[in-house]
Amino acid sequence: MSPRSGRPAGFTGPQRFLLAGSFLIPLGSFAVLPFMSVLLHERLGMGLGAVGVVLATASLVQFSGGVVGGATAERLGLRRTMLLALVIRTVGFAAFLPGLRHAYVAVAALFLVSCGAALYLPANKAYLVHGVEEARRPLLLSASGSALNAGIALGPLAAAPFVLNFSAGLFTAVAVLFAAITAGHALLPAEGPSPAPAGPGREDGEDTGNATRQSVLPFAVTVLSLYLFMFFQHYLALYAVPRTSATYYGLVLALYALLLVVAQPLLSGWIARLPYARALRIGFAAMATGMATLALGNHAAILAGALLICCAEVILFLKNDLEALARSPRSPAVVFGRQRLAAGIGAFVSGVAGGEGYQAAERADHAGLFWAAVAVQCVVLPPLLTAALRVRRVRNGSPTSGVSGETA
């Protein structure tokens, strides 16, 4: 905080560089990755079944590998881990050039990129908040999230005119971009030592077992949040385009991305101050309302439902990360790695359950029932989860204040 103004101090040079990287890295990645199914199937002749297995496995590696990324960062150091990850990703994107002629090389390139992402993201977030007072973490993490979402939104738009007709040039440009970003990371100062975090209710010297048990809740809530959210992410296009148009669906996505980019930093302080239980109630209520609104199926309902779900994403995803940091005795890199694993588990289960569920609703000619069923889960599953964790804590002889009430 600035002692004179009482306002938060500005970002440091390394923080500004990492925030710029949080935009450029997904911009480059999502100039390529959303088109992988087209490349593998239409250009390289892989069957759709094989393509699905490759993409699902790569996603699982990227998410679950966050645990390995966090452990690596804890041992190797944050800056070194980011550099290693970026070298791997740069090699991966460069390998797409020979991959344009050989499917097995393209698959190997995809897995290199996924492994690099698994290593990079926990170390990146941990470096961003390293040595930063707790009050400034929400703004930094939300600004990083906004930059990332802006890159994700713009990457496919920027690459669409080139991905099929000028693939080699596109992959070359992305590899050069990652090489430049890697060189920039080499100039970052090495992080210094930092004291072990003290979670809520934990004084120095207190047994860390209780803090570790407390950290189970943000992990479990992240699994649930992604499980519910990914129904929206995976199946909105199938639902919205036939009922509106591809152009209208694109407008919905653009407004969603704009709200996400703007709202995350603006609301970060308020979200950080919210008691965890209240944040969960607000977030899951917004998600439930948004899913129920989608079930109406008209233009206004699809837009309103999407924006309500965006509000839920802003609240739940940031609050879960902040709460995981506060409750865990481990380093931020390990915490963020575990959160990535939680996100991967939720997304995987959602993909498995959602396909059959949406197909059944479509066959019954009542696709709106799919969204109504998801809305019911948004209402029912959060209290069931906290109740189950409360029972688990009681059986383990731990206090229950960390699961229910205003401290969630």
* CA dihedral of 397, 398, 400, 402, whole degrees rounded to 10: -160
Inside any domain, residue 43: yes
Do 157 and 215 fall into the same domain?
no
Give the mean model confidence (pLDDT) for residues 21-39. 84
Do 37 and 79 fall into the same domain?
yes
CB atoms within 10 A of CB 272: 21
At residue 213 the predicted structure's pLDDT band, cuts being 50, 70 and 90, is low
Give the mean model confidence (pLDDT) for residues 233-249. 83
Do 93 and 153 fall into the same domain?
yes
From residue 258, alpha-carbon distances to 125, 231, 254, 266, 276 in Å are 22, 21, 6, 13, 26
Tens digits of per-residue pLDDT, 274-314? Answer: 999 999 999 999 999 999 999 999 999 999 999 999 999 99
The DSSP code for 35 is: G
Do 221 and 171 fall into the same domain?
no
The contacts of residue 74 (CB under 8 Å, 6+ apart) are 330, 331, 333, 334
Residue 1 pLDDT exceeds 50: no
Q: Amino acid identity of 335? A: V
Instruction: Tally the C-alpha atoms within 13 A of residue 403's C-alpha that lie toward its C-beta.
Output: 21
* CA dihedral of 95, 98, 103, 104, whole degrees rounded to 10: -60
Do 122 and 235 fall into the same domain?
no
Tell me phi and psi for residue 366, to 5 degrees.
-140, 65
At residue 242 the predicted structure's pLDDT band, cuts being 50, 70 and 90, is confident
Number of domains into which the chain is organized:
2
Tens digits of per-residue pLDDT, 331-370? Answer: 888 888 899 889 888 888 887 787 778 888 888 888 899 9
At residue 2 the predicted structure's pLDDT band, cuts being 50, 70 and 90, is very low
Provide the b/e sequence for 101-131 (b: ≥16 CB within 10 Å).
eebebbbbbbbbbbbbbbbbbbbbbbbbbbe
Do 263 and 307 fall into the same domain?
yes
Tens digits of per-residue pLDDT, 167-205? Answer: 888 889 999 999 999 999 999 998 766 544 444 444 334
Do 112 and 247 fall into the same domain?
no
Name the pTM for this structure. Answer: 0.76
- Residue pair 271/138 in contact by the 8 Å Cβ criterion: yes
Do 356 and 272 fall into the same domain?
yes
Do 181 and 246 fall into the same domain?
no
- Angle separating helix axes 167-186 and 78-99, nearest 10 degrees: 170
pLDDT attached to residue 180: 95
Phi-psi region of 199 (alpha: psi -120 to 50; beta: other; left: phi over 0): beta
Do 387 and 352 fall into the same domain?
yes
The DSSP code for 197 is: P
Residue 170: which domain range?
A: 13-186
Domain finish residue from 139, 156, 186? 186
At residue 403 the predicted structure's pLDDT band, cuts being 50, 70 and 90, is very low
pLDDT attached to residue 48: 65
Tens digits of per-residue pLDDT, 39-97? Answer: 887 778 888 677 777 877 887 888 888 888 888 988 889 999 999 999 999 999 999 99
Do 24 and 167 fall into the same domain?
yes
pLDDT attached to residue 311: 95
Inside any domain, residue 192: no
Inside any domain, residue 326: yes
The residue behind tokens 């995803």 is 317
Residue 44 and residue 102: Cα distance in Å, rounded?
7
pLDDT attached to residue 194: 54
Inside any domain, residue 6: no
Inside any domain, residue 365: yes
Inside any domain, residue 273: yes
Average confidence score pLDDT of the chain: 84
Distance of CA 342 to the CA centre of its chain: 10
44-58, 105-119, 314-328, 376-390 — which is least confidently predicted? 44-58
Inside any domain, residue 128: yes
Inside any domain, residue 346: yes
Do 263 and 180 fall into the same domain?
no
Return the CATH number at 144: 1.20.1250.20
Q: Give the residue from 291, 367, 278 showing the smallest Cα distance to 319.
A: 278
Domain finish residue from 152, 186, 220? 186
Range with the largest mean pLDDT of 225-239, 314-328, 389-403: 314-328
Give the mean model confidence (pLDDT) for residues 98-123. 90
Q: Which two tokens stand for residue 376?
A: 């019911």
Domain finish residue from 151, 186, 221? 186
* CA dihedral of 88, 89, 95, 99, whole degrees rounded to 10: 130
